[in-house]
Amino acid sequence: MRVLWFSLLLLCAFPSWAAHAYAQFGDIKYPAGFSHFDYVNPKAPKGGEIRMVPPTRPTNFDKFNPFTLKGTAPYGIGGLMFESLLTGNSEEPTTAYGLLAEDVDVPADKKSATFRINPKARFNDGSPVLAADVVHSFRTLTGKLAAPQFRTLYAEVKDVKALDDRTVRFEFQNPNPELPLVVGGMPVFSRAWGGGKPFDQITTDVPIGSGPYKLPNPRMGRDITYVRDPAYWGADLPVRRGFFNFDRVTYRIYLDETAKFEGLKAGEYDFMREFTSRNWARQYKGKQFDSGEIVKRAFENRNPGDFQGYVFNTRDPKFKDIRVREAIGLAMDFEWLNRQLFYGIYKRVDGYFPNSEFRATGLPSAEELALLEPLRDKLRPEVFGPAALSPSTAPPGSLRENLRRARALLAEAGWVYRDGALRNDKGEPFTIEFLNDQPSLIRVATPFQTALQKLGIQMNFRTVDFSLAQQRMDNFDFEMTSVRLPGSTAPGGELLELFGSQAAATPGSRNIWGIADPAVDALLQKVVTATTRPELRTALRALDRVLTHGHYSVPQYYGDAFLIGYRAKPFELPPTIPPYYESDSWAMSTWWASPANK
C-alpha cells in the first residue's frame, strides 16, 4: 500500500509531458518536431561579424549585470548571454516554444506551469542548467536587490519549486493564461554567478548564462564585442536553427549624432536605425548610397506603432488637475511639425496602442461597456462617449483655436494670465522644467515651447546626459519629459509596470506618470486574465479609453517602417521578413555574413 501511495503521489506531482510549446490563446503554428521557423535560413553559414550602434540613447556602460537598478549594462547583453525556459518568435504574438525547457505543462485551471529542462542545456562555463538555477533566478529577480520592475512583473507568482533536478513548477495567485509566457520568458542565470556576493554588488563579474555568445575580453567602457560560443549547447534546437550566425557581434557607442553617421559612411560599423526624419531625408545621400555600398531602406512591418509622447509627472501638484493637462496638450501642432520638419514621414499617435487592433475608436462596443459600466462611479463621463483623439490643427481647425480652448480650461482650473505670465491664485507663475537627454529633441520641442509661451507658460529645457536623466526618472524627479514605448502585438503583464498603482509608488518603476487609478487597475486585471484574443482586445480598448481621457500624455508621432542604413556587401538577408520584429535584433540574429566577407 505504501508503494502504491508513493506511485500515486508521483503521478500527481509530475505532469504527463506532451507540450513542446504554450500558446496563451491556443494557436500554435509549429508542431512538435518542427525543424525551424519559416523566416530564417536554416542553412545560413556561420562566421563573420556585424557591427551595430544601439537604437537606444547612447551612454558608456559600467556593469555587466543588466538586472539591477544602479548603473548601465552594455547593450545586447540580455539577449545574447541569457536565455529563458521558453522563447517566442516573430510570427506568433502569444505563443512560445521550448528553449531551456523541452516540455511545458499548464493545467486546465491555469494556476501553475511546470517545465522540464532540456538535459543538454548548459551554461557558458559548462555546468548544467538545473531547476535550482531557475528557482535562484526567480528569487533573485524578485528580491530587493534587483530592479523593482521584476517584482511587479512576477507579482502574480505565488511560489516556485524545484520538483527534481530538471523539473520546476511555478504556482500562480490566480488563473492567468498569460503567466506561463511571463515566467517562461524569465532570464535564467547560474547560481554560481557572483560567487555569493549580494546581487547589487555583482557588477564586474561576467555573467554565467546559457546564451549563444560569450564575453572573452570584458572591459568597461563604450564599445563591446560578443563572441559566438562554439560549444553553444542549443545550436541545433529548432528554435535556434538559422539564428545567431555571426562569430562576433559588436556594439559601438557614439555620444555625438554627427560622428555616429560619419562612422557609418567611414565603415566603422555596418548597421544603423535612423530615428530622425530630417537626417533620413537629407543625409542618406551621396556616392556610397548611389553605388549601393550603403543601402538606405525602409523595412516594412506589421508591428503595432510605438507610443511616443511628452508625459506629465502627475505627482507634481501643478499637473494634478486634468484640465491643466488637457490644455497643455492643445498646444502641440503635429500637422505643422510633420509638414515642416518631418517631411510627412510620421503619423499622429492616438491612444496608447497606435496602429493596432487594441486602439479605442468611436463609441464603446457592448463588450467594452460590460467592462466599463461596473466602474462608472470611478470614471469620467467622457469615457462613455467617443474615443479621445489627439488635438489637430488641420482645417477647419487651427492652433489659434486650440489655444483659445486651452486658455478657457486653464482659467477653469484657476490659472489666469496677468503680469506677463500665467499665474494661480497665489500669484505663482506656471513654469515647466522639461527633462531631456536628447539634444536633437530641442528642435522638435521648440514650437511646443513657443505655443505654451502664448498661454503664459514658461517651459525650460533641462538637457542632461542619459545616466543622470535615468537616475532622475528612477526617482521620479522630473516635471515633464519625452518617452517612447515600443508597440506590442499582445500587451499584458508589462502594463502593470507602466500603469498600475503599485508601480506608481515604486521608485525605479516604469509608471513615470504616477497613474494610481482604481479603474485602471481593474481594467489591467481584465487584460492579464483574458483567455481569448477578443477578450484581450476588448480589455485593452477599454483601458485605452480611460488612459486617453485621463490626459496623462501629449501624444506625439510614430512611423510604420524601420528606417535603416546598412553596408550591403558584408551581409545576406533571409528571403522572408517576419510580420512582427525589431529591426536591430532581427538583423543581428538572422542575417549572415557573405562568404567573401568572413
Span 236-252, pLDDT tens digits: 999 999 999 999 999 99
The C-alpha cell at 30 is: 509549429
Assigned domain for 299 exists? no
Assigned domain for 103 exists? yes
Mean pLDDT of the chain: 92
For residue 376, give the amino acid letter: R
d(CA 79, CA 240): 13
592 three-state secondary structure: strand
Q: What pLDDT, in 10s, does the model give residues 163-187?
A: 999 999 999 998 888 999 999 999 9
d(CA 11, CA 6): 9
The closest alpha carbon to 192, from 277, 242, 142, 132, belongs to 132
- CA 142 to chain centroid, in Å, comes to 19
Q: What pLDDT, in 10s, does the model give residues 456-473?
A: 999 999 999 888 998 999
Alpha-helix runs per DSSP H in 413-493: 441-454, 466-474
- On whether both 573 and 487 belong to a single domain, the answer is no
- CA 50 to chain centroid, in Å, comes to 23
For residue 398, give the amino acid letter: S
Q: What pLDDT, in 10s, does the model give residues 125-149?
A: 999 999 999 999 999 999 999 999 8
pLDDT at res. 276 = 85
Q: CATH number of the domain that 31 lies in?
A: 3.40.190.10
The percentage of the chain sitting over the pLDDT mark of 90, rounded to a whole number, equals: 80
- Contact between 489 and 303 under an 8 Å Cβ cutoff? The reply is yes
Categorize the per-residue pLDDT at 11 as very low, low, confident or very high, splitting at 50, 70 and 90: very low
Q: CATH number of the domain that 314 lies in?
A: 3.10.105.10
8 three-state secondary structure: helix
CA angle 43, 48, 50 (to 5 degrees): 105
- On whether both 128 and 190 belong to a single domain, the answer is yes
Assigned domain for 224 exists? yes
The count of C-alpha atoms lying within 13 angstroms of the C-alpha of 241, restricted to the half-sphere facing its C-beta, is 12
pLDDT at res. 15 = 41
- On whether both 317 and 235 belong to a single domain, the answer is no
The closest alpha carbon to 453, from 432, 425, 439, 436, belongs to 432
Assigned domain for 63 exists? yes
- On whether both 88 and 200 belong to a single domain, the answer is yes
Enumerate the β-bridge partners of residue 480.
312, 434
Categorize the per-residue pLDDT at 6 as very low, low, confident or very high, splitting at 50, 70 and 90: very low
Assigned domain for 292 exists? no
Enumerate residues 6+ apart whose C-beta is below 8 A from 294.
Answer: 264, 265, 284, 288, 565, 566, 567, 568
Assigned domain for 282 exists? no
194-207 average pLDDT score: 96
- On whether both 196 and 60 belong to a single domain, the answer is yes
What distances in angstroms separate CA 376 from CA 326, 369, 388, one per listed residue? 21, 10, 17
d(CA 578, CA 302): 9
Assigned domain for 61 exists? yes
**Residues 146, 149, 154, 156, CA torsion sign:** positive
- On whether both 535 and 591 belong to a single domain, the answer is no
Q: What pLDDT, in 10s, does the model give residues 18-48?
A: 589 999 988 899 999 999 999 999 999 999 9
411 three-state secondary structure: helix
Assigned domain for 488 exists? yes
Looking at the structure of the chain, the number of domains it has is 2
- On whether both 381 and 351 belong to a single domain, the answer is yes
- On whether both 122 and 215 belong to a single domain, the answer is yes
- On whether both 554 and 574 belong to a single domain, the answer is no
- On whether both 538 and 593 belong to a single domain, the answer is no
pLDDT at res. 58 = 67
What distances in angstroms separate CA 100 from CA 121, 184, 300, one per listed residue? 6, 9, 32
- On whether both 547 and 577 belong to a single domain, the answer is no
Residue numbers of the domain that contains 223:
19-251+569-597
The C-alpha cell at 37 is: 521557423
- Helices 533-549 + 518-528 axis angle, to 10: 160
- On whether both 212 and 361 belong to a single domain, the answer is no
- Phi, psi (deg, nearest 5) at residue 359: -75, 135
Q: What pLDDT, in 10s, does the model give residues 63-111?
A: 999 999 999 899 999 999 999 999 999 999 899 999 999 999 999 899 9
pLDDT over 90 (residue 4): no
Categorize the per-residue pLDDT at 2 as very low, low, confident or very high, splitting at 50, 70 and 90: very low
